[in-house]
């Protein structure tokens, strides 16, 4: 883990699920430092965990030794997270949550990410891989309304 300045943290991990616990811990602590409620901090952590799981499964096809970069920006008005992989590109137009009526295990990561975070954006402009940016604004620190 590298801390560039008081507002920027960079983590590079291998695409092995055993490292997800470490990332979850860092994300939870960052959200709590920014005074998000415990519930929203846990929700943000879930969104990041789902995103990383998708990278491992879809971009790296389960390969356990590929690099994933996670950049965390602790800004005045928001928590901004960038997840960069260097694997198979994803077409953002094809990324859709599955229908909730389709009852089966798994497949709800994109649904949770879009439900929890205020902004979710996929950038495929780099030569390899995808950069996922997720933003949670601080003014939304109460319980989410459904």
Q: What is the pLDDT of residues 133-143, one digit of tens each?
A: 999 999 744 44
* Cβ neighbours of residue 18 closer than 8 Å, sequence gap 6 or more: none
| Predicted confidence (pLDDT) per residue in 30-59, tens digit | 999 999 999 999 999 999 999 999 999 999
pLDDT at 111: 85
Note the pLDDT tens digit of each residue in 61-95. 999 999 999 999 999 999 999 999 999 887 766 65
Tell me the three state secondary structure of residue 43.
helix
Domain ranges of the chain: 2-137
**Encoding tokens for residue 28?**
């939870």
Give the closest residue to 136 by CA, choosing from 78, 75, 62: 78
Pick the CATH number of 2-137 from 3.30.565.10, 1.10.10.10, 3.40.50.970, 3.40.50.300: 3.30.565.10
Q: Residue 100 pLDDT more than 80?
A: no
Burial class from Cβ neighbours inside 10 Å (0-12, 13-18, 19+) for residue 11 reads middle
pLDDT the model gives residue 3: 83
């Amino acid at each position: 883990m590298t801390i560039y300045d008081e507002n920027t943290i960079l983590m590079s991990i291998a695409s092995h699920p055993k490292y997800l616990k470490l990332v979850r811990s860092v994300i939870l602590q960052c959200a709590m430092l920014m005074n998000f409620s415990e519930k929203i901090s846990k929700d943000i952590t879930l969104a990041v965990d789902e995103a990383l799981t998708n990278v491992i499964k879809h971009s790296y096809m389960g390969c356990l030794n590929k690099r994933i970069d996670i950049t965390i920006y602790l800004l005045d008005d928001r928590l901004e997270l960038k997840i960069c992989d260097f694997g198979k590109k994803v077409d953002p137009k094809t990324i859709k949550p599955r229908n909730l009526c389709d009852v089966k295990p798994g497949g709800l990561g994109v649904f949770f990410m879009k439900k929890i975070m205020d902004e979710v954006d996929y950038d495929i402009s780099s030569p390899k891989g995808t950069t996922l940016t997720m933003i949670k604004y601080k003014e939304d620190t109460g319980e989410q309304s459904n």
